[in-house]
Protein backbone atom coordinates (compact mmCIF):
# COMPACT_ATOMS: atom_id res chain seq x y z
CA UNK A 1 0.00 0.00 0.00
CA UNK A 2 2.73 2.43 0.98
CA UNK A 3 4.67 1.91 -2.21
CA UNK A 4 1.70 1.80 -4.54
CA UNK A 5 -0.18 4.77 -3.18
CA UNK A 6 1.99 7.02 -1.07
CA UNK A 7 5.01 7.15 -3.35
CA UNK A 8 2.95 8.33 -6.35
CA UNK A 9 1.37 10.80 -3.94
CA UNK A 10 4.78 12.18 -3.03
CA UNK A 11 5.60 12.63 -6.71
CA UNK A 12 2.18 14.10 -7.45
CA UNK A 13 2.49 16.66 -4.68
CA UNK A 14 5.90 17.55 -6.00
CA UNK A 15 4.72 18.03 -9.54
CA UNK A 16 1.83 20.17 -8.43
CA UNK A 17 3.77 22.18 -5.90
CA UNK A 18 3.89 24.99 -8.36
CA UNK A 19 5.20 28.28 -7.17
CA UNK A 20 6.89 30.84 -9.31
CA UNK A 21 10.23 31.86 -7.90
CA UNK A 22 9.79 35.42 -6.86
CA UNK A 23 12.10 38.13 -5.75
CA UNK A 24 14.33 36.21 -3.42
CA UNK A 25 17.15 38.67 -3.05
CA UNK A 26 15.62 41.91 -1.80
CA UNK A 27 17.21 45.22 -2.68
CA UNK A 28 17.72 46.81 0.74
CA UNK A 29 19.33 50.05 -0.37
CA UNK A 30 20.46 51.65 -3.61
CA UNK A 31 22.56 54.60 -4.63
CA UNK A 32 21.13 56.50 -6.34
CA UNK A 33 17.79 55.71 -4.66
CA UNK A 34 14.73 55.06 -6.83
CA UNK A 35 13.36 58.22 -8.48
CA UNK A 36 16.38 60.26 -7.38
CA UNK A 37 17.76 63.18 -9.37
CA UNK A 38 21.44 62.83 -10.19
CA UNK A 39 23.48 65.87 -11.15
CA UNK A 40 25.96 65.39 -13.98
CA UNK A 41 26.68 62.76 -16.60
CA UNK A 42 28.53 60.27 -14.39
CA UNK A 43 26.66 57.88 -12.09
CA UNK A 44 28.17 55.50 -9.55
CA UNK A 45 25.76 52.69 -8.66
CA UNK A 46 25.79 50.88 -5.35
CA UNK A 47 23.15 48.19 -4.72
CA UNK A 48 22.89 46.45 -1.35
CA UNK A 49 20.83 43.24 -0.96
CA UNK A 50 19.57 41.12 1.93
CA UNK A 51 21.65 38.12 0.85
CA UNK A 52 25.07 37.33 -0.57
CA UNK A 53 25.18 37.93 -4.31
CA UNK A 54 27.31 36.22 -6.93
CA UNK A 55 28.63 39.41 -8.56
CA UNK A 56 30.37 37.53 -11.36
CA UNK A 57 27.09 35.96 -12.46
CA UNK A 58 24.83 38.99 -12.02
CA UNK A 59 23.87 41.52 -14.66
CA UNK A 60 23.06 45.23 -14.70
CA UNK A 61 21.69 47.09 -17.68
CA UNK A 62 20.81 50.71 -18.16
CA UNK A 63 18.03 51.90 -20.40
CA UNK A 64 17.27 55.48 -21.25
CA UNK A 65 16.85 57.98 -24.03
CA UNK A 66 20.15 57.02 -25.65
CA UNK A 67 19.30 53.30 -25.80
CA UNK A 68 20.41 50.42 -23.62
CA UNK A 69 23.81 49.39 -22.36
CA UNK A 70 25.07 46.52 -20.24
CA UNK A 71 27.18 47.30 -17.19
CA UNK A 72 29.69 44.95 -15.58
CA UNK A 73 28.96 44.84 -11.85
CA UNK A 74 31.69 44.28 -9.27
CA UNK A 75 31.43 43.17 -5.68
CA UNK A 76 31.23 46.14 -3.29
CA UNK A 77 32.25 46.49 0.34
CA UNK A 78 30.46 43.26 1.28
CA UNK A 79 29.29 40.14 -0.55
CA UNK A 80 25.77 41.59 -0.50
CA UNK A 81 26.79 44.69 -2.44
CA UNK A 82 27.20 45.34 -6.17
CA UNK A 83 28.88 48.41 -7.63
CA UNK A 84 29.10 49.74 -11.17
CA UNK A 85 29.67 53.07 -12.87
CA UNK A 86 28.62 54.73 -16.09
CA UNK A 87 29.73 57.94 -17.74
CA UNK A 88 28.55 60.20 -20.50
CA UNK A 89 24.83 60.15 -19.74
CA UNK A 90 22.76 62.97 -21.22
CA UNK A 91 20.05 64.58 -19.13
CA UNK A 92 16.87 62.51 -18.97
CA UNK A 93 15.09 59.58 -17.40
CA UNK A 94 16.91 56.26 -17.00
CA UNK A 95 16.17 52.88 -15.48
CA UNK A 96 18.80 50.55 -14.05
CA UNK A 97 17.63 46.93 -14.43
CA UNK A 98 19.26 44.41 -12.12
CA UNK A 99 19.27 40.63 -12.52
CA UNK A 100 21.17 39.08 -9.65
CA UNK A 101 22.05 35.55 -8.63
CA UNK A 102 22.08 34.96 -4.88
CA UNK A 103 24.53 32.28 -3.78
CA UNK A 104 21.69 29.88 -2.90
CA UNK A 105 20.80 29.70 -6.59
CA UNK A 106 17.86 32.08 -6.94
CA UNK A 107 17.71 34.70 -9.66
CA UNK A 108 15.93 37.95 -8.73
CA UNK A 109 15.09 40.93 -10.84
CA UNK A 110 14.26 44.56 -10.21
CA UNK A 111 14.82 48.09 -11.36
CA UNK A 112 15.89 51.51 -10.08
CA UNK A 113 14.52 54.45 -12.10
CA UNK A 114 16.33 57.80 -11.79
CA UNK A 115 16.73 61.09 -13.59
CA UNK A 116 19.94 62.86 -14.58
CA UNK A 117 20.01 66.65 -14.73
CA UNK A 118 22.67 69.06 -15.98
CA UNK A 119 24.82 70.73 -13.30
Partner 1 sequence: MLTTLPPDILAFFAVILRGLQLTAQSVILGGVLFLFGFTRPLAPKLGGRVLAMERTGLTWTARGGLALALVAGLSIFANLSQLVAGLKIEPGDAMGADFVQWNLIMATAAMALAVTARMQANPAQVPSMALLAAVVLGASVMSSHAFARVDEREYYILADALHQAGASLWIGGIPFMLLALTHVKESRDRLLVGMRFSHLFTGAVGLLLLGAAMLAWGYISTPGALIGTAYGIMTGAKIILLSVLLLLAAMNRKSTRSEAADKGQFRLRRFAEVEIGIGVTVLMIAASMASQPPAADQTQHQATIMEIVERMAPVRAPRLVSPPSETLSIGIEKTAASETADRMWSEFNHNWAGIFVLAMGLGAMAHRMGVGPARHWPLLFLVIGTAIIIRSDPESWPIGPHGFFETLADPEVFQHRVVGLLLFPFGLFEWAVRTGRLKSERAALIFPILCAVGAGLLLVHNHTLTDVKERFLIEFSHIPMGLFGVMAGWLRWLEIRGDGRARRVAGLLWPVCFSMVGVLLMFYRELP
Q: Interface with partner 1 by CB under 8 A: which residues?
A: 1-2, 4-6, 9-26, 28, 50-52, 54, 56-59, 78-80, 99, 101-107
Among 44, 45, 56, 47, residue whose Cα is nearest residue 26: 47
Residue whose CB is less far from partner 1, 14 or 119: 14
Buried b (16+ CB within 10 A) or exposed e, 8-24: eeeeeeeeeeeeeeeeb
Residue whose CB is less far from partner 1, 26 or 117: 26
Residue whose CB is less far from partner 1, 102 or 116: 102
Specify whether the CB–CB gap between 97 and 71 falls below 8 A. no
CB 53 → partner 1: shortest distance, Å? 8
CB 34 → partner 1: shortest distance, Å? 12
Residue 4: φ, ψ to 5°? -80, -25
Amino acid sequence: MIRSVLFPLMVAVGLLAAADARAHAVLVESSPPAEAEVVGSKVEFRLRYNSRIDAKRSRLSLKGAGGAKTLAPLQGASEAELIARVEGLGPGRYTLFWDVLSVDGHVSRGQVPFITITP
